[in-house]
């Protein structure tokens, strides 16, 4: 199998330290699957990381200026520009090492794999013809390049000599992108767009489309560990342990919640939105992957319910509704002991 992740999947975890990426790398190593990073994706990952570093540095500078006022002119050092680029180099080395160690192809030559001119000419042709992922409303130069890499992934894998035999499995390409507008079927976002599906079949390639890494790992990387089942999870994991992280995540979304409440409830008075968690429960889904003889990672689905209230100056409540939160959290099992519980993904809806 060949696995290609869009940049919107990679940048969810800048350092690839989350359990999901650990499972991905472990799966690739165990099954000899190839992780391919197209050059255009790599460049976007790098650009996004530099942007985050500079935003963090600017935040430090503001804190520095405030601290110097409080401490009467005392000087504090902030990350310098050369340190930003040094951190970028460290990041690149770490990413390269991770991917290459798991049978990956860190493919700086993917865009030039055929011929630079012909590749770009093909992209331009798609844009002119409005051939997906280019559409009537978007030119999508980057997405066209990524899609061409998906179509050529098998040839690249053979050239890298990760697989010497042409097999049906080798023609299977898992493409993971949250860009459902350009790649997914508008009637079912879990399916590849019919035009792209037809094109891949014309080339004899089976493209398995996933909107997130979670569902791909659930389908391919899940393993059976004898002692881990739903009863064991319910007996050994306290779901309230994850509520602190869910609370922090929901508080980081408070501005978005406020905008949504205001847009759907006219003439609300000024006040403070209060969020209260009413409990977190197991959502009847989990999967397991053995990273090593010493460590097993469990990914567990959860549901949480929150009450959202608007409290005004006199202490009265002028608005009350509920928020449903769904997502996944992970934990490590070492010598049958649960450790390192952390929130992975979540989404919420107001009812």
pLDDT band at 105; cut points 50, 70, 90: low
Q: Name the residue with higher pLDDT: 254 or 162.
A: 254
The residue among 181, 202, 220 that closes a domain is 220
Q: Look at 85-94, 207-216, 277-286 and tell me which has the smallest mean pLDDT.
A: 85-94
Evaluate whether 302 touches 332 at the Cβ level (below 8 Å).
no
Q: Are residues 73 and 141 in the same domain?
A: yes
- Kind and range of the H or E element at 288? strand 272-290
Residues 219, 249: Cα–Cα separation, whole Å = 27
Q: Are residues 202 and 291 in the same domain?
A: no
Mean pLDDT of the region 260-267: 76
What is the model's pLDDT at position 89? 78
Residues 316, 274: Cα–Cα separation, whole Å = 12
Evaluate whether 288 touches 298 at the Cβ level (below 8 Å).
yes
Q: Are residues 166 and 240 in the same domain?
A: no
Q: What do you get for the CA distance between the two ends of the chain, in Å?
A: 41
Average pLDDT for the chain: 81
pLDDT at 110 exceeding the cut of 60: no
Q: Are residues 78 and 96 in the same domain?
A: yes
Domains of the chain: total: 2
pLDDT at 161 exceeding the cut of 50: no
Assessment of whether the complete model's pTM goes beyond 0.85: no
pLDDT at 85 exceeding the cut of 90: no
Return the CA Rg of the chain: 24
pLDDT at 109 exceeding the cut of 50: no
What is the model's pLDDT at position 310? 81
What is the model's pLDDT at position 296? 96
Q: Look at 2-11, 135-144, 251-260 and tell me which has the smallest mean pLDDT.
A: 135-144
Q: Are residues 290 and 172 in the same domain?
A: no
Tokens matching residue 16: 């690839």
Range of the domain at 184: 2-220
Give a yes or no: residue 256 inside a domain: yes
Residues 279, 302: Cα–Cα separation, whole Å = 10
Q: Look at 102-116, 144-158, 161-175 and tell me which has the smallest mean pLDDT.
A: 102-116
Smallest CA-to-CA distance from 278 within 300, 308, 313, 233 is with 308
Mean pLDDT of the region 283-302: 94
The residue among 220, 245, 280 that closes a domain is 220
- Kind and range of the H or E element at 283? strand 272-290
pLDDT band at 165; cut points 50, 70, 90: very low
Residues 87, 15: Cα–Cα separation, whole Å = 11
The residue among 220, 240, 275 that closes a domain is 220
Q: Are residues 51 and 197 in the same domain?
A: yes
User: 32: alpha, beta or left, given left = phi > 0 and alpha = psi -120 to 50?
Assistant: left
Give a yes or no: residue 266 inside a domain: yes
Q: Are residues 79 and 119 in the same domain?
A: yes
Place of tokens 């989404």: 347
Spell out the long-range contacts of 315-321 with Cβ–Cβ below 8 A and sequence spacing 24 or more.
318/268, 318/269, 318/271, 319/261, 319/265, 319/268, 319/271, 321/261, 321/350, 321/351
Summarised one tens digit per residue, pLDDT across range 171-203 is 689 999 999 998 999 999 999 999 999 999 988
Give a yes or no: residue 225 inside a domain: no
Q: Are residues 140 and 117 in the same domain?
A: yes
pLDDT at 170 exceeding the cut of 50: no
Report DSSP letters for 292-338, one per residue.
SSS-EEEEEEEEEEEEEEEE-TTS-EEEEEEEEEEEEEEEEEETTEE
What is the model's pLDDT at position 112? 35
Q: Are residues 27 and 106 in the same domain?
A: yes
Report DSSP letters for 187-240, one per residue.
TEEEEE-HHHHHHHHHTT-EEEEESSHHHHHHHHT-B--TT-SHHHHHHH--GG
Q: Are residues 137 and 286 in the same domain?
A: no
Q: Are residues 71 and 211 in the same domain?
A: yes
Most distant CA pair in the chain: distance in Å? Answer: 74
Tokens matching residue 268: 């609300």
What is the model's pLDDT at position 34? 84
Spell out the long-range contacts of 56-60 with Cβ–Cβ below 8 A and sequence spacing 24 or more.
57/84
Summarised one tens digit per residue, pLDDT across range 36-81 is 888 888 888 888 888 888 887 777 777 777 777 777 666 666 667 6
Q: Name the residue with higher pLDDT: 104 or 90.
A: 90
Residues in Cβ contact with 127 at an 8 Å cutoff, skipping those fewer than 6 apart: 134, 139, 140, 141, 144
pLDDT band at 132; cut points 50, 70, 90: confident
Summarised one tens digit per residue, pLDDT across range 333-350 is 999 999 999 999 899 998
- Across 52-117, the runs of DSSP E, i.e. the strands, are 105-107
Q: Are residues 106 and 185 in the same domain?
A: yes
Residues 351, 341: Cα–Cα separation, whole Å = 28
């Amino acid at each position: 199998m060949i696995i290609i992740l869009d940049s919107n999947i990679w940048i969810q975890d800048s350092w690839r330290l989350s359990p999901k990426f650990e499972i991905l790398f472990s799966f690739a190593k165990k099954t000899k699957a190839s992780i391919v990073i197209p050059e255009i994706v790599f460049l976007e990952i790098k650009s996004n990381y530099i942007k985050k570093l500079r935003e963090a540095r600017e935040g430090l500078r503001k804190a520095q200026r405030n601290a110097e006022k409080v401490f009467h002119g005392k000087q504090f050092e902030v990350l310098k520009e050369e340190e930003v680029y040094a951190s970028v180099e460290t990041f690149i080395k770490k990413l390269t090492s991770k991917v290459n160690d798991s049978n990956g192809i860190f493919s700086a030559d993917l865009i030039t794999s055929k011929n630079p001119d012909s590749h770009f000419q093909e992209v331009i042709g798609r844009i002119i013809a409005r051939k997906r992922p280019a559409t009537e409303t978007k030119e999508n130069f980057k997405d066209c390049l990524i899609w061409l890499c998906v179509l050529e992934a098998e040839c690249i894998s053979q050239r890298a000599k990760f697989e010497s035999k042409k097999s049906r499995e080798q023609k299977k390409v898992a493409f993971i992108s949250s860009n459902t507008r350009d790649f997914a079927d508008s009637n079912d976002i879990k399916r590849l767009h019919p035009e792209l599906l037809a094109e891949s079949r014309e080339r004899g390639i089976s493209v398995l489309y996933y909107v997130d890494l979670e569902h791909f790992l659930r389908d391919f990387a899940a393993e059976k560990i004898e002692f881990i089942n739903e009863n064991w999870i319910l007996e050994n994991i306290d779901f309230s342990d994850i509520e602190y992280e869910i609370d922090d995540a929901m508080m980081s979304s408070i501005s978005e919640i406020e905008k949504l409440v205001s847009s759907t409830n006219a003439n609300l008075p000024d006040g403070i939105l209060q969020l209260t968690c009413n409990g977190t429960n197991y959502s009847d889904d989990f999967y397991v992957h053995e990273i090593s003889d010493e460590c097993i990672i469990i990914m567990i689905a959860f549901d949480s319910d929150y009450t959202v209230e608007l409290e005004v100056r006199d202490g009265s409540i002028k608005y009350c509704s509920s928020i449903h939160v769904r997502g996944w959290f992970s934990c490590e099992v070492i010598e049958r002991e649960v450790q390192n519980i952390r929130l992975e993904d979540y989404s919420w809806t107001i009812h």
